[in-house]
Structure 1
Amino acid sequence: MVGGLEIRPDAPALFSLATTDVDEARAFCRRMFYGPLRVDPVGDRSAFAFRADVVSLGSITVGEISYGSDIHVAIPDLETSYHVLAPLTGMLHSRHRGTVVLADPTRAAVYRPIGDIELDWPGSCRLLSIKVERGALERELDAALDQQIVTPLLLGDSFNVIDAPGRTWVSLVRLLFGEVLSGNGLSGQPRMASRWRDMVVSGLAMTVEHPYGEEPAGMRGPNRPRTVKRTLDAMHAEPSRQFTAADLATIAGVGVRVLQESFRQHVGMSPLTYLRRLRLDGVHGELSRSDPWQVNVSEVAFRWGFTHLGRFAGAYRDRYGVTPSQTLRERR
């Protein structure tokens, strides 16, 4: 409960925007998905007509998005998320980790947390944009395969959406999205919405391709150490707790240097850097959903474990390109 407003992460939130203003469209996409995202029109801007409906539901964010004219999108490392782009119309030219994918209504593109993304997005392309929290998908695959897995997950760069299971998964996403848009379906019930969200995450875990062949056992690869898994689980369970490097090393059962090296190898950053970004994403998500007349930025920051507001504000601005108060004001 914040300022009389109850924040319910299992209740879907809907955000929509239609605009011909490039800056407004860019700010919306940064707020909904990734702060460092760049959107640049290519050629004639006269046809630019951005349209987006975005549903936020806990660990997933689903948007149906089009721009009306050709654009170029650049995104640095996603870091805390996996992402799927599934065109409904047109073709998307995608580059990620040295691989080019032509995504269209028959094939979706998949993005891992590490590696820059560049998209050539024509005006004819309307697509589903699905963001899945990194921890949610990794925990789901870890449980489904009943074994240690390398992280970031060694996912393939695309999957077929004409045949099952890809077709089934996209249909599930579209059904959830349509239910939230209609505003009078079962998705309005928090318990049902949370189960639907979990089905989207688990369905993706069973759908997405990987570079080792058809069998799930192909996900084995180099093992993720249990020390890293224990540390990640602890941080996700209590993101606001004032962990020190020594605390996390104790949880992992190894020395600080060993844990730091394991995180750099298997997560791509140090434990405390991951924790800070986890907290920032939590604050960002809450501010994006909250009523600015009822919520105070400082209270939200403190609740997510930030005790120095100056450093918090600087880190937030570096990650999302705007101040926390700007994110909250955009809800008015």
Structure 2
Amino acid sequence: METLLFESHDLGETEAFLSEHYATMRIQGDTERPATRVRRAILGQVSIDRLNLDYAMSYDVDPLGKVCLCTVSSGTIAQQVAGQDEEVFGPGDTVLFTPPDKPYKGEIRRSCYDIIMLDPALLAQVAGQELAEPIDLGGHRPVSKAAADNLVKTIAYLRGVLQDPELAGSPLIVSAASQLLAASVLTAFPDQAHADERDQTAAQPETVRRAAAFIDDHADAAITLADIAAAAKVGTRALQYGFRQHLDTTPMAYLRRVRLVAAHADLVAAQGEHTTVTAIATRWGFHHPGRFATTYQEVYGCPPSRTLHA
């Protein structure tokens, strides 16, 4: 087992370390003595990193060639994989951070989180596929609560192995633990490239109507893709297929559109009242004021502040 530990209060030193061991990072220090602590442990084909970052940090990363999972303990992470919608992860989330073959970017906001990386070849081995057949994992979030709970337990088991030198030194235990993680990942994020045609069959217009109605009624709540799929009585893949097929968009993009319309209505209604653009944006799930302002102007042709103070 290999280990690495980095601790610093120097942003320049930290930026250089993170850029060397991960990818290009840009830190926006907003504390007097911003603290960084990174601990890495490598167990066979799997690595587990615990990162504590006491500041905001943006990143723009080329494909890693690794399957990357993330579990968030505190703070938030706004993440966007190329060609996909932005998602915000918070405390308690265990997600597929990025697939191995796509670039991604985002912002980490005063967060403590774990990054678990594994080789795609390990997934192919466990799935019984040839390496020429790429694994195409579906979605950022597990397909069900049971699958998510199983993945969390598997990661906890891996941590237990890492903490026991005798177990971590056993090739048989290391191999079995790595394959268990791969199996849990394949269960939580089923392979899209080899999905059944059931998803296409289930994605009927009525399914999309149920999902859209649920979004319209719960746009002010912290709903996820899994919540929308459950309300529509289909799986997440079928839901995504249905929205692409019938609305030419994604469920989360539709949700953001509904929230943007609601935010616009609040800005119009709040004219002359003691409120702010940030407060209205936050109420409707837009936690990054700059991105909200840009999106708003693209749709309504003016900044949200002008609507508020018209």
TM-score interval for Structure 1 and Structure 2 normalised by the shorter chain: 0.5 to 0.7
- Which of 176, 197, 211 is the equivalent residue of 2:158? 176
Q: Deviations over 1:61-98 (max 9, x none)?
A: 111112111111221122x2121122122221001023
**Residue in structure 1 matched with residue 147 of structure 2 by the alignment:** 165
Q: Deviations over 1:230-270 (max 9, x none)?
A: xxxxxxxxxxxxxxxxxxxxxxxxxxxxxxxxxxxxxxxxx
Whole-angstrom distance in 1 between the partners of 2:103 and 2:87: 14
**Residue in structure 1 matched with residue 101 of structure 2 by the alignment:** 114
Displacement of 1:133 after TM fit? Answer: 1.0
Whole-angstrom distance in 2 between the partners of 1:219 and 1:176: 34
CA contact (8 A) 1:19 1:25 kept: yes
Whole-angstrom distance in 1 between the partners of 2:51 and 2:183: 24
**Residue in structure 1 matched with residue 10 of structure 2 by the alignment:** 21
**Residue in structure 2 matched with residue 128 of structure 1 by the alignment:** 114
Question: 5 Å matches for 1:11-50?
Answer: 12-30=1-19, 32=21, 34=22, 37-44=23-30, 46-50=32-36
- Which of 159, 174, 180 is the equivalent residue of 1:193? 174
CA contact (8 A) 1:150 1:220 kept: no
Structure 1 gaps, min length 5? 1-11, 222-332
Displacement of 1:216 after TM fit? Answer: 5.1
- Which of the two has greater helix per residue? 2
TM-score (norm 1): 0.52
Displacement of 1:190 after TM fit? Answer: 3.0
Aligned length: 198
TM-score (norm 2): 0.55
**Residue in structure 2 matched with residue 323 of structure 1 by the alignment:** none
Q: Structure 1 residue 91 and structure 2 residue 72: aligned?
A: no
Aligned-partner SS, 1:165: helix
Whole-angstrom distance in 2 between the partners of 1:89 and 1:161: 23
Higher RCO by CA contacts (8 Å cutoff, separation 6 or greater): 1
Displacement of 1:134 after TM fit? Answer: 2.1
Structure number with greater Rg is 2
Aligned-partner SS, 1:114: coil
Q: 1:162 to 1:90 in 2, by over 3 A?
A: farther
Residue 89 of structure 2 aligns with an amino acid whose one-letter code is A
Structure 2 gaps, min length 5? 201-310
Whole-angstrom distance in 1 between the partners of 2:34 and 2:144: 30
- C-alpha RMSD of matched pairs (Å): 3.2
Q: Structure 1 residue 207 and structure 2 residue 188: aligned?
A: yes
CA contact (8 A) 2:70 2:94 kept: no
Displacement of 1:160 after TM fit? Answer: 3.6
Whole-angstrom distance in 1 between the partners of 2:105 and 2:60: 5
Sequence identity, in percent?
14
